[in-house]
Each structure stands twice: as structure tokens, then as C-alpha cells.
Amino acid sequence: MSSFLHQTELEDGTPVLIRLLEPTDEGEVMLGFTRLSASSKYYRLMMNPNQFPDNLLKKKMARINDENDLVICAWDLSKDPVLGIGTAMYAEVKDEPKVAEAALTVIDSYQQRGLGTVLLKALAYLAYQKGFRHFRGYLLAANQGIVRLIERFGAKARYSGEAMLQVDVELYPFVKDSEFGK
């Protein structure tokens, strides 16, 4: 998996490269955070949209792509230099074998162009190869964009608090006819 690369196009023809996130990408991840609108920061991080704790990024970057955690990133190949436009990650859920918590972020100017679907399918393929069979995610119920995306793949959502949803989705539908790994 250390050499995972996949080139594709978004719905509008934008050429995109999907690959594993590398420790040297830390600066681009921080820059990507600045490209998110306040509402995207709030929906994705569920925290004050004006603050991104440095320790959170350092903690995530230290664990990327170990045995049970994985982060992939998307790059717009039409830009010079190439531009980081999204990430997706999973982390093993402790005490629940075969379940991984998943999350994804797409910068605002690339939303509604199919990138979230591409990232989710790639992440599902890689997780399935590692033996995971379900993704779990936690999101704000008001985040209708991601709710619609994951419902297309048969996700089951239930309230986990007043405004939070816990979403579970089986990975096999993502990978049965996958373009990844071919």
C-alpha cells in the first residue's frame, strides 16, 4: 500500500491524483485548512472555525499510514504547482474489529464536483484491503452535503446526541466493482 497512486478526473474534467499522505505534506494540509470556509471548518472539525490546534495536526501527522490508520490526499494536477484539494482518513475503532472511523475534507472550491465520492471510494478500497468491513463516522446532522453523499452508499444514520449523527456504512458496495487496484 505504500505506493498507492490513482489518477482520475472529476466530473468537470479536472485531473486529480489520489495518493497516500506523506509527512512532508504537513504544510499543504495547513494551507488547505486556510482554504476552507468557516462553515466547512465547523462542519468538518466541529469546533471554532477560526482555530486549528497545531497539536491536532502534529498528532495526526505522526500517526498517518501506520498499521490501523491511513490518510490519503487529492491533488489538482492542472495547477502549477499541484494543489492539495482534499483528504480522507480512517482509524481503527478500538474494541470493534473490522470497523474504522472515517472522515473526509474537500476544500470549498472543489466541493460538488465528485471529489468526495472519489476519496470515499479510494479510502474504502484501501480499508477493505486491510480487513475492515465497515466505516463509522460522526457528523453534524445539519451537514446535509455529506449526509446525502453517504446515503447514496447505503449508510445507516442514527442520532448520537442532540445534533450529531453516527453513520455506519458497509464497505463492500464501494469495492465490489472498484476501479482501484486494477
- Cell 446525502 belongs to 148
- Judge whether 177 and 140 are in contact, CB under 8 Å: no
More confident residue, 83 or 57: 83
How far is the C-alpha of 174 from the C-alpha of 96, rounded, in Å?
Answer: 20
Is the model more confident about 83 or about 151? 83
CA distances from 152 to 17, 35, 89, 114, 135 (A): 24, 27, 19, 13, 14
What pLDDT does residue 63 have?
58
Q: Which CATH superfamily groups domain 5-133?
A: Gcn5-related N-acetyltransferase (GNAT) (3.40.630.30)
